[in-house]
Chains A and B, each alone.
Chain A
Amino acid sequence: MTGPTNLESRARHIRQTWAKRCNKVLYMSSVKTDFPTVDLNVSEGRDNLFWKTIRAFQYIHQHHLDDADWFLKADDDTYVVIENLHYTLSKYDPEQPLYLGRRFTPFISKGYMSGGAGYVLSKEALRRFIKGFNTGECTHFSSIEDMALGKCMETMKVEPADSRDVNGRQTFHPYPPDYYLVRQAPRPRPWYLLYDHYTPIEGPGCCSDLAVSFHYIYATQLYVLEYLTYHLRPYGYKYRFNPDEKD
């Protein structure tokens, strides 16, 4: 999800880094350009965020439903490791009504997925989301995009699935890695972990080796994460975490 003012400063770097690894990528905006961007016929701004999301999914449902099994919504300040997303999704069936992301607890009884960390809808979940708005079961009752989407998912009986790895470590992250990884003395939950559904862990146990996303990642940091994920490595090192066996 992007906008005209962010194409040069943000979307361009995403296009040069992780977006290349999507099977298909669409840049959602309010203006059509040769970037290329899609014109959703919605104004920019935080108040219109949910409208933009609704229109984006409607556009995809209309034009691209058969192009994919899973549909990821990410912001233009999110970094995503597509291979790890594939891996996380591999144990789920896209014909089942479910969606994945960083699960938050409040406001919605089944919780909802953090918008900033990015979330993925299965094909069936997307169909139900569209149906909900067609029948009026889902409405634009709030402009808080992630929470409102969560309400619609709950109404349409789409299940929030667990995106954590085999060791219970989080894969979707609504903040940059330094918020989580730095060792802390035991303390009450800091503000940015208050909404977490699964009990958050601070320090190295916070995050899966096969992390899927980080948020509030701008230009330089995008390339830094790209370098760390795909390039810089210790020669001849045996990774301690083997995802295909439980610890």
Chain B
Amino acid sequence: MLSDGGSFMKGMVMGGLFCLVLSFLSSFSPSTEFMTEDHHHHHVKAASKEELNHLSDSHTQELLDQVRVSCIIMVQPSVLVYWAAALDTWAKHCDKAVFYTSESSKALEAIDLNEKDDWARLRKALKHAYDNAGDLRWFFVARPTTFAIIENLKYLVLTKDPSEPFYLGNAMKSGELEYVALASGIVLSYEALKRLVNVFEDEGKCPERGRALWKLSEDKQLAVCLKYTGVFAENGEDMHGKGLFNSKTVHSLISDSMKANPTNVVEGCCSDMAVTFNGMSPSQMQVLMFGVYRLRPYGHDFHDLMTFYPPEDVFLCRL
């Protein structure tokens, strides 16, 4: 009897130890789903009118004061005209816009990171933006071929807390990895950026030169590093579930919609509150500024519940 009990006890202890070891190991695995995270879902939607209506005036004002955006634009001298276009058009609506380049150019102001490798350069840019964040809590990363409507970005993140980790944009999947495409713009909350800058120190999880075996694009590298910190890519959508971050030009999206929804082309296309388009030429960007910020039918009132005033500079510049 005693020996039976003994082996039973041994079995229990072995089993218990085995389970302990397993759970110990699994908690170190980077692919574990952090089920305790508040928002481990894959879509982030803009607030609905009802939600906004329920906010008190003072709360609304608090949110408005907080939702200021720092734009991080990665440029190269070979795309000088795009750089100039971004500077002259949408980047003016950022509360702060900094251009980071791979090499200096006398023609335009940018921070020369003196770094040829795309991923290493992005890391430096993000670290610099974090170190100089001041009181800005939202970060928007783009290329000069991206066109962004910053007011709509603010609308998307208005009710989201930047001390929570948010990593939003056009969420794409590459094998098992979900990442946000750089070309259509990446949105990072302060907390996400903070965690990222911290994991930069870890050469094991987030190497500076990337893994030699397979060269991932810098937006995928970003996703891998963020994953280690428990931050996952989420698709930015309007209240109807339409994607707000577009990888194509307006023309291209409309053209697609003409084939897919011939009787309902415009409604079946892109969101009214779209945040980004990609691939527009500098001339097209100038036309889009007119189309977005000026051209409208007399008498239409959208009854927006609040006003996003552009930074002071915009009022000083001539149209």
Q: A interface vs B, CB < 8 Å? A: 16-17, 81-84, 86-87, 177-178, 181-183, 204-205, 207, 209-211, 219-221, 223-241, 243
- Interface range for B: 35 or more
Show the binding face of B for A, using Cβ within 8 Å: 88, 93, 149-152, 154-155, 250-251, 254-255, 257-258, 263, 265-266, 269-270, 272-274, 283-284, 286-300, 302, 304-310, 315, 318-319
Complex partner residue of B287 from A86, A182, A229, A234, CB under 8 angstroms: A182
> Please, which residue of chain B has its CB at the minimum distance from the CB of A88?
B298
Quick check: A237 and B308 within 8 Å, CB to CB?
A: yes
Select A83's contact among B269, B270, B298, beta carbons within 8 Å.
B298
Contact of B155 among A83, A210, A235 (CB under 8 A): A235
In the complex, A200 Cα to B265 Cα: how many Å?
A: 34
Given A182-B287, A210-B298, A235-B304; 5 other pairs, CB 8 A cutoff: A177-B291, A178-B287, A224-B254, A230-B297, A232-B292
Q: Which of B263, B289, B292 contacts A233 (CB 8 A)?
A: B292
Contact A16 B265, CB 8 Å, known A228-B295, A234-B149? yes
Going nearest first, the 5 A-B pairs with the smallest beta carbon separation are A228-B291, A234-B151, A83-B297, A235-B155, A87-B298
Given contacts A84-B298, A219-B258, contact A235 B151 (CB under 8 A): yes
Docked Cα-Cα span, A13 to B304, in Å, equals 30
- Choose one: B255, B297, B308; the contact of A220 (CB below 8 Å): B255
Q: How far is the CA of A226 from the CA of B308 in the complex (A)?
A: 24
State how many angstroms separate the Cβ of A19 from the closest Cβ of chain B: 14
Shortest distance between the CB of B61 and any CB in chain A (Å)? 13
- In the bound complex, do residue B306 and residue A236 qualify as a contact, i.e. CB atoms below 8 Å apart? yes
Give the residue of A182, A223, A241 whose beta carbon is less than 8 angstroms from that of B283. Answer: A182
Cα-based distance from A39 to B255 in the complex (angstroms): 32
In the complex the two chains form, what is the Cα distance from A82 to B308 in whole Å? Answer: 29
Contacts of B273 in A (CB 8 A): 233, 235
Interface pairs (25), CB distance under 8 Å: A16-B263, A81-B295, A83-B297, A83-B298, A87-B298, A182-B287, A204-B286, A209-B294, A220-B255, A223-B265, A223-B269, A224-B251, A227-B254, A228-B295, A229-B296, A230-B297, A232-B291, A232-B292, A233-B273, A234-B149, A234-B150, A237-B307, A237-B310, A238-B307, A240-B294
* A234-B308, A235-B273 known; A84 vs B297 contact (CB < 8 Å): yes
Q: A83-B298, A228-B250, A234-B292 are in contact. Are A220 and B286 (CB under 8 A)?
A: no
By a CB distance below 8 angstroms, the chain B residues around A227 are: 250, 254, 266, 269-270
Most buried by B among A211, A223, A239: A223
Rounded to whole angstroms, the CA-CA distance of A220 and B308 in the bound complex is: 31
| Alpha-carbon gap, A205 to B317, bound state (A) | 13
| Cα(A181)–Cα(B283), bound, Å | 8
Please, which residue of chain B has its CB at the minimum distance from the CB of A82?
Answer: B297
Residues of the A chain whose Cβ atoms lie less than 8 Å from the Cβ of B255 = 220
**A178–B286 CA distance with the chains assembled, in angstroms:** 8
Chain B contacts for A233, CB-based, 8 A: 272-273, 292, 296, 302
Indicate if the CB atoms of B296 and A209 lie closer than 8 Å. yes
Q: Please, how many angstroms separate the alpha-carbon atoms of A143 and B272 in the complex?
A: 44
